[in-house]
A and B are shown apart, each in its own frame.
Chain A
Amino acid sequence: MLIVLLILVPLIGGFLAMLLPEKMVYPFAMITTVATLVIAAVSYIQYTQGAELIIDRSWIDILGARFHAGLETGDGLAVLMMMLTAIVFPFIFISLRNKQPEKVHTFYSLMLFAQAGLMGVFLAKDALLFYVFWEIALIPVYFLSSMYGGPRRIPVTFKFFVYTFAGSLIMLVAILLIYRHAPIRSFSWDSFVSIGQAMPGSEQSWLFWMMFIAFAIKMPVFPFHTWQPDAYEQSATPVTIVLSAIMVKMGLFAVVRWLLPVIPAGSAQWMNVVITISVISVVYASCMAIVQTNIKRMIAYSSIAHIGLMCAAIFSHQILGMQGAAIQMFNHGITIAGLWIMVSIIEHRFGTQDMREMGGVAKVAPLFTIGLVVMSLANIALPLTNGFIGEFMMFNGLFKTVSPYHTLFTVFAGLGIILAAVYTLTMIQKVAYGPENTKTASFTDLTMNELVVMIFFVIMILVLGFYPKLLMNLIYVQP
């Protein structure tokens, strides 16, 4: 029941938000996401106490597709992603309190639809249901990014949409091809896994790419990343948060749930290739981030670098690396969401995204600067911030990879940490320190709602940095 509510509450909330009078929309959307968060928290508690939350109803009998979703033992990653989705949305909404978008009806209902879709992706246990939610999550985000944001948003979002849609259609064919082998018509995860164990290697070898391209576009890793910096830059920041904190995790999550277990031989076969492109992704995106002057583009590239590392760690086929990636998926979501909210404040107050026009914020807005610095440090994965533990485990896993190139992989991926320090600290320097200018003078410090958001994210970053066991317990598997 809880599982259904997780999807239904935002979905119905989205429909109702369209019908309410304009003043009621924001409070209502707020209540809906908080309610979702409460339900998620209850599910989380029940899950940690060992309960299995499952819904399994017949859906399309002729195909054998079932409405099968839930959290079973071993679904720790899904729990993390579910919690991330539930946490990020209310805080986006809080941060919007004093800067409401135009057309509030559309905005909030689409946001709630997106939340419902994302929940579905992380909870689905049936391949067809997963695919359906995968697309459903895309549509509201497509509309959101096209309606709100910079001047080039429409073509940019269109590119993003066509790119990901093409990818997911190829995945659909892959699902069909795997489904064909099912002894009784079924899309269930278990059935897919058992098919995967028995499938000949030659077939897995190309099925792997059909699935992986769809996920790689979503993450994105080099060379499928070209939609991403543009889309992040041009979308309105609340939408960018949804994209970068949660949506890109869909790609990684799908790899862990639907690719590695379902196509094991294919994944093992292409492991080195995938890690190589991920590492290229890390180095390339970090270098790109250094030369950016637009703050949103810079964070977009830094996001590609982080995702690249997570992807490499997942494909290391080492338990430590995969656990690190799982932890980092959650933590990166928290950090990047906080960072984007800071960026949206900067963008809003300065009226520009160009870092060359900023400076000296530390003097006029100390609270803001503290928040920005803590989140940036978490982005570099400094010890005692939440970024550290995951990154450490990922490098560990990458180094232990059974591959002749493991040292090479680790060294190049390690470059990413150094480069991350370069671009993040440069960003802080340009924004917070340096000479003040006319715009800085009018920069006011955080308002009440922004302060709440900032404190929450800073606490999350520090607590999870000091005590990562909270997350580790969820994804710990007996080696």
Chain B
Amino acid sequence: MMFAGIVLKKTAQIQGVAILGILALLGTTMVDLKLVGADTKTFYSMIELNAVTAWFNVLITFCALAYFTLFSKNIAAVGKNDADYFALLFFVMCGVYLLSTYSNMLILFLGIEILSIPQYILAGSDKENIKSNEASLKYFLMGAFSTGILLMGITLIYGATGSFDIFSDGFIAQFQSSAGLNTMSFAGVLLLIIAIGFKVSAAPMHFWTPDVYDGTPTAFTPFMATIAKVSVFVAFIRLFHLSFGNVSNDWQTAIAAMIVLTLLIGNLTAVYQQSVKRMMAYSSIAQAGFMLFAIFSLNNLAWKGLILYSVAYTLASLGVFAVLIKMKDYTYEGFNGLAKKEPVMAATATICLLSLAGIPLTGGFFAKYYVLSAAVEQGKWIGIVIFAVLMAAISAYYYFRLIRSMYFAEGEATLSYKPSSIEKALLLVNALLVILLGVLPGIL
């Protein structure tokens, strides 16, 4: 992909190559599905593939395919170096696969870095826009800090266990014993929570999110907010379920506090936003709060729920962003009267917003349902489930505000360009997928 820019001069060709590339990846991940069950550890046992993560890889690649098809035109339109953007996106995908299959803390670190560094660049890819530059710098500085914290956490745990391998004897001795954690590994676990919490924009480590998402060119924001983010979640649950699961008493309180804060801050702040793009940034924080429930509850349902949530949330957000990017004015007023002008765009955005709000018959409902029932199943702290549900009611407010603007408000919504019928068809397919997930969530 990196060299595509040298060989091919036309953007259309580059976009084509990118989509072919992602299709190839999809094929590869599907082949991986078959490998599960055989010797699934490779690269000196640093990578371990199991049924769930192989399936996650397929799905996330499919989401990436949706992203590439919906946005390839917009990605190319960001600046001159369109081939580079695609190359960077593929680097991120590389990080995604490392994060979903690592079995070694070094690979975890490597994955997070491969995932993050291209994002720093992408955030600043609109070089002439000062907000984009600000986003990039902010993201980089904050990201560098969190990397430091992550390394510190890994180091402490290495000190306590004598190993990087999350399935090693040292880990088992340390984290499966009934004695509980010693100070060093406890500090390590907490630092890891902070570092990974930063990457998934969980409060109180969320402050970078709105500015970065808002400043980043709209073509890249959905990728950062969805695919990159949910893969960190998978890394999160992988580490905390497979190796720290037995000592969950020691760190569950921290996660619970994070859930409450994330939901509260994400939802309440989103209510007050005037720009839809910023609202979506806060909503992505709020949605992260729900995904944290999977890490909180740590059972089989939580894994299922997290995967369903990832896909449902990704597709729905992509649908909303794909409409947003075609608008000239990103405020709510800019959407006024869109339904009259572009009924297809308004309808698909509505379906996606309903899904984000968690209305039944859309994927979002069952996604929320799975993670919440996983939390109820593990039995502790039912109170925060009720709290989360109230927060979901608040989230309906700001999602429906956009629906109101599109359908009931008078106005002339201006588009930045007229979408082709192919783009509209893609939006429709995306919306239908969201509904399909809502009718038959069992297919995942």
A448 to chain B, nearest CB (A): 34
Evaluate contact between B360 and A146: CB separation under 8 angstroms: no
With A60-B366, A176-B373 as given contacts, are A154 and B304 in contact (CB-CB < 8 Å)? no
- Does chain A have a CB within 8 A of B145? no
| Cβ of A165 under 8 Å from chain B | yes
Task: Give the contacting residue for B360; candidates A60, A131, A170, A176; CB below 8 A.
Answer: A131
Taking CB atoms, residues of chain B closer than 8 Å to A128 are 369
Q: Are B359 and A135 in contact (CB under 8 A)?
A: yes
By a CB distance below 8 angstroms, the chain A residues around B376 are 173, 176-177, 179-180
Tell me the A161-180 residues at the B interface (CB within 8 Å): 161-162, 165-166, 169-170, 172-173, 176-177, 179-180
On whether the beta carbons of B400 and A170 are closer than 8 Å, the reply is no
* CB of A139 within 8 Å of the partner chain: yes
Q: A451 in the interface, Cβ–Cβ < 8 Å?
A: no
Let me know if A177 and B407 touch, CB within 8 A: no
A169 touches B392 (CB 8 A): yes
A158 to B408, CA, bound (A): 11
User: Closest residue to B301 on the A side, CB-wise?
Assistant: A62
Per the bound structure, the CA–CA distance linking A177 and B382 in Å amounts to 9
Most chain-B CB neighbours within 10 Å: which of A59, A132, A147? A132
Q: Interface stretch among B65-73, B197-205, B262-270, B383-391?
A: B383-391
Q: Are A162 and B389 in contact, with the CB atoms below 8 A?
A: no
Q: Which one of B373, B382, B408 has the greatest number of beta carbons of chain A within 10 Å? A: B373
**Contact, CB under 8 Å: B407 / A146:** yes
Say whether A28 faces chain B, with CB atoms less than 8 Å apart. no
A325–B247 alpha-carbon span in the complex (Å): 54
In contact, A63 and B404 (Cβ under 8 angstroms) = no
A272 to chain B, nearest CB (A): 26
Residues 159-212 of A contacting B (Cβ, < 8 Å): 161-162, 165-166, 169-170, 172-173, 176-177, 179-180
User: Is residue A143 contacting chain B, with contact meaning CB distance below 8 A?
Assistant: yes
Interface size grouping (class) on chain A:
20 to 34
* Contacting pair B304 A173 (CB below 8 A): no
Chain A residues near B250 (CB, 8 Å)?
A: none
Asked whether B385 lies within 8 Å of A59 as measured between CB atoms, the reply is no
The complex places the Cα of A141 from the Cα of B384 at a distance, in Å, of: 31
**Inside 8 A of A177's CB, which chain B residues have their CB?**
376, 382
Main secondary structure of the interface of B (DSSP, over half): helix
A131 to B368, CA, bound (A): 14
B 98-120 binary contact with A (CB < 8 Å = 1; else 0)? 00000000000000000000000
Closest to B370 in A: A63
Measured between alpha carbons, how far is A63 from B369 in the docked complex, in Å?
10
Q: Is A61 within 8 A of B442, CB to CB?
A: yes
B360 touches A135 (CB 8 A): yes
Partner of B396, one of A131, A132, A165, A180: A165
Taking the complex as formed, is B377 at the interface, i.e. its CB lies under 8 A from any CB of chain A?
yes
Q: Is A136 an interface residue (CB 8 A)?
A: yes
CA distance A304 to B6 in the complex (A): 73
Q: Contacts A62-B301, A135-B359; is A169 near B389 (CB within 8 Å)? A: yes
> Do A132 and B373 touch across chains, with their CB atoms under 8 A apart?
no
Q: Which of A143, A158, A170, A179 contacts B386, CB < 8 Å?
A: A170
The answer to whether A60 and B442 touch across the interface, beta carbons within 8 angstroms, is yes
Among B301, B361, B442, point to the contact of A132 (Cβ < 8 A): B361
Q: Which residues of A contact B370 (CB under 8 A)?
A: 63
Query: Which B residues lie within 8 Å of A180 (CB)?
Result: 376-377, 379
- Tell me which residues across on chain A come within 8 A of B407, comparing CB atoms: 143, 146-147
Whole-angstrom CA separation of A135 from B361 in the bound complex: 9
In the complex, B441 has a CB within 8 A of chain A: yes
Q: How far is B409's CA from A170's CA once the two chains are assembled, in angstroms?
A: 30
Q: How far is the CA of A154 from the CA of B370 in the complex (A)?
A: 33
List the A side residues contacting B441 at CB < 8 Å: 60
B2 at interface, CB cutoff 8 A: no
> Smallest distance from the beta carbon of A123 to chain B beta carbons, Å?
16
B381 interface contact, C-beta 8 A:
no
B286: CB under 8 A from chain A? Answer: no
B372 within 8 A of A: yes
Instruction: Evaluate contact between A154 and B408: CB separation under 8 angstroms.
Output: yes
Q: How far is the CA of A62 from the CA of B440 in the complex (A)?
A: 11
Q: Is B436 an interface residue (CB 8 A)?
A: no
Q: Is there an interface contact between B389 and A173, defined as CB atoms closer than 8 Å?
A: yes
| B400 contacts A158, C-beta separation under 8 Å | yes
Whole-angstrom CA separation of A476 from B396 in the bound complex: 42
Q: Which residues on B sit within 8 Å (CB–CB) of A165?
A: 393, 396
Shortest Cβ distance from residue A64 to the other chain B in the assembled complex, whole angstroms: 11
Closest 3 CB pairs of A and B: A166-B393, A132-B360, A135-B360
Interface residues of A (CB under 8 A from B): 59-63, 128, 131-133, 135-136, 139, 143, 146-147, 154, 158, 161-162, 165-166, 169-170, 172-173, 176-177, 179-180
Which positions in B face A, CB cutoff 8 Å? Answer: 301, 304, 354, 359-361, 365-366, 369-370, 372-373, 376-377, 379, 382, 385-386, 389-390, 392-393, 396-397, 400, 404, 407-409, 440-442
> What are 20 sample pairs from A and B whose C-beta atoms fall under 8 A apart?
A59-B442, A132-B360, A143-B407, A154-B409, A158-B400, A162-B393, A162-B396, A165-B393, A166-B390, A169-B389, A169-B390, A170-B386, A170-B390, A173-B376, A173-B389, A176-B372, A176-B373, A176-B376, A179-B376, A180-B377
